């Protein structure tokens, strides 16, 4: 038997239904926030991610799926969505002559060669939002709030937003120096990865999962002490807006994010119980320019859809997850089938979710199937009744029966569902 690749899963049954629900809600939400849909390729030139995400990040050094295509081009399956959207904004000159904010959202699969475990996959799905052309703290708050209320609308309450600022370049240079000076005599006490991060990307040591309870890190200098006046004011302003927008947030100075393109405000949506990041984002004012575009400030986030599905499964009652259709149309002989196909089509074209016995099942099996599908109403066609133009509709939970005129069935269901 050929099995699925390690770290992937087939989206089935309940998970598939939750996925569709998330995707429909995302569409609605984005529409209300005036955000346009964008789709970029799942594979891109490897250089995009090297330059975009950062050549020394874990994602680029250890986790990308790289290959040469048949034309000898160096290709990478996208590990995240931001770099591709930025490439598209530049390539299609989407920023030309505009003074409004450009906002895009996407939903799609990303690929990271990570060690698979619960909630961590090699093929993952993200919903992402990217907003370009505004450097106002107001839009940072708007974008944080969009993610926050989207997660809440899914019914997930067990999370908070953890925010931090990485400051501007001056803040970061000063802080990185202070952090290195502090860590240098303590290097032996850190994990192997952190020892190499000390050379390549010292800030990443702060959110190391291995060293998270290490006393050395607990006593390390904090970025807040190194912020320039501008950077501090900006962060304070974002927090002020978050208060106005009623966002439950806390400042966590260990949030530095695993991608190199961020500056200023960064954040993660973290579950309170298991401390899982169900999403994360930040401002990235230099990325567009670094990838060859104009100077264009930007901010955005990505939500892990696979992780949202796991969270929703924890809170939804069993009943809400079971399949429930509106009506099941039952028929046995040829005459009944002729009426049934036309009736089921009418129901469906009138927004009633309906199924029909299209597998020549016995009456007994049809009752069973209707139960499996959670049919609210059984529509029972019977030759004798049909001759008189009558159809029986049975409410499956109460077993109450209604004899209706064939022409009334659709309207009756519309009124009773």
Applying CB under 6 A, which residues contact ligand HAM? 80-82, 112, 114, 119-121, 124, 126, 128, 130, 258-259, 277-282, 300-302, 304, 306-307
d(CA 285, CA 298): 5
Q: How many CB atoms lie within 10 A of CB 161?
A: 21
Classify burial at 191, counting beta carbons within 10 Å of its beta carbon; exposed 0-12, middle 13-18, buried 19 or more. middle
Work out how close the CB of 129 gets to ligand HAM at its nearest, in angstroms, rounded to a whole number: 7
- Spatial distance between the Cα atoms of 23 and 189, rounded to a whole number of angstroms: 45
Phi, psi of 282 (to 5 degrees): 170, 180
CB nearer ligand HAM, residue 137 or residue 300: 300
**Least spacing, CB of residue 307 vs ligand HAM, in Å:** 5
User: Of the two residues 167 and 304, which places its CB atom closer to ligand HAM in the complex?
Assistant: 304
Q: Which is nearer to ligand HAM, 293 or 304 (CB)?
A: 304
CB of 53 to ligand HAM, least distance (A): 8
Beta carbon nearer to ligand HAM, 161 or 340: 161
- Minimum distance from CB of 298 to ligand HAM (Å)? 8
* Three-state secondary-structure class, residue 71: coil
Say if residues 145 and 242 touch (Cβ distance below 8 Å): yes
Dihedral angle computed from the Cα positions of residues 4, 129, 175 and 224, in that order, rounded to the nearest 10 degrees: -120
Ramachandran category for residue 133: left, alpha or beta (phi over 0 → left; psi -120 to 50 → alpha): left
10 Å Cβ neighbour count for 61? 13
Answer for the pair 13, 23: CB distance below 8 angstroms, yes or no: no
At 218 the three-state DSSP class reads helix
Q: Is-contact 71 139, C-beta < 8 A?
A: no
Q: Output 18 or 278, the one with its CB closest to ligand HAM.
A: 278
Q: Which residue is nearest to ligand HAM (CB)?
A: 304
Q: What angle do CA 243, 255, 300 make, to 5 degrees?
A: 65
Could you tell me the smallest distance in angstroms from the CB atom of residue 325 to ligand HAM? 31
In the complex with ligand HAM, the residue whose CB is nearer, 181 or 248, is 248
Least separation, in Å, of the C-beta of 300 and ligand HAM? 3
Residues in the chain: 417
| Residue pair 233/137 in contact by the 8 Å Cβ criterion | no
Residue 203 CB, nearest distance to ligand HAM (Å)?
15
What minimum distance in Å lies between the beta carbon of 270 and ligand HAM?
9
* Rounded Cα gap, residues 270 and 257, in angstroms: 13
Nearer to ligand HAM, 142 or 306 (CB): 306
Q: Which two tokens stand for residue 318?
A: 């069993």
Nearest distance from C-beta of residue 306 to ligand HAM, angstroms = 5
94, 36 in Cβ contact below 8 A? no
What minimum distance in Å lies between the beta carbon of 377 and ligand HAM? 40
Closer CB to ligand HAM, 156 or 332, in the complex = 156
Nearer to ligand HAM, 202 or 300 (CB): 300
Beta strand ranges found along 201-248 (DSSP E): none
- Whole-angstrom Cα distance, residue 84 to residue 82? 6
User: Closest CB to ligand HAM among 271 and 357?
Assistant: 271
């Amino acid at each position: 038997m050929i099995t699925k690749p390690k770290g992937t899963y087939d989206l089935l049954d309940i998970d598939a239904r939750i996925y569709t629900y998330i995707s429909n809600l995302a569409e609605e939400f984005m529409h209300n926030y005036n955000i346009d849909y964008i789709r970029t390729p799942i594979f891109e030139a490897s250089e995009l991610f090297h330059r975009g995400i950062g050549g020394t990040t874990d994602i680029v050094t250890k986790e990308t799926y790289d290959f040469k295509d048949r034309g000898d081009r160096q290709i990478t399956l996208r590990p995240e969505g931001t770099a591709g959207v930025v490439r598209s904004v530049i390539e299609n000159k989407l920023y030309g002559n505009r003074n409004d904010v450009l906002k895009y959202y996407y939903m799609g699969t990303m690929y990271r060669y990570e060690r698979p475990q619960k909630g961590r996959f090699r093929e993952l799905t993200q919903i992402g939002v990217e907003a370009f052309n505004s450097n106002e703290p107001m839009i940072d708050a708007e974008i944080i709030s969009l993610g926050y209320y989207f997660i809440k609308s899914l019914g997930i309450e067990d999370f908070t937003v953890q925010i931090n600022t990485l400051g501007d370049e001056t803040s970061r240079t000063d802080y990185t120096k202070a952090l290195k000076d502090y860590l240098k005599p303590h290097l032996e006490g850190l994990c192997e990865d952190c020892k190499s991060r000390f050379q390549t990307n010292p800030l990443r040591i702060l959110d190391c999962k291995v060293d998270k309870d290490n006393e050395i890190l607990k006593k390390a200098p904090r970025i807040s002490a190194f912020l320039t006046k501008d950077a501090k004011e900006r962060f304070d302003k974002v927090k002020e807006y978050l208060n106005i927008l009623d966002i439950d947030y806390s400042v966590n100075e260990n949030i530095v994010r695993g991608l190199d393109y961020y500056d200023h405000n960064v954040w993660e949506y973290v579950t309170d119980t298991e401390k899982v990041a169900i999403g994360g984002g930040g401002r990235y004012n230099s990325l567009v320019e670094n990838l060859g575009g104009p100077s264009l400030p930007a901010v955005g986030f990505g939500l892990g859809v696979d992780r949202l599905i796991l969270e929703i499964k924890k809170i939804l009652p069993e009943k809400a997850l079971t399949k429930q259709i509106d009506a099941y149309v039952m028929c046995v002989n040829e005459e009944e089938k002729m009426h049934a196909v036309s009736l089921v089509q009418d129901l469906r074209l009138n927004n009633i979710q309906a199924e029909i016995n299209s597998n020549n099942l016995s009456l007994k099996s049809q009752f069973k199937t209707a139960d499996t599908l959670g049919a609210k109403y059984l529509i029972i066609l019977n030759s004798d009744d049909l001759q008189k133009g009558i159809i029986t509709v049975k409410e499956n939970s109460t077993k109450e029966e209604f004899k209706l005129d064939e022409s009334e069935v659709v309207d009756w269901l519309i009124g009773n569902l």
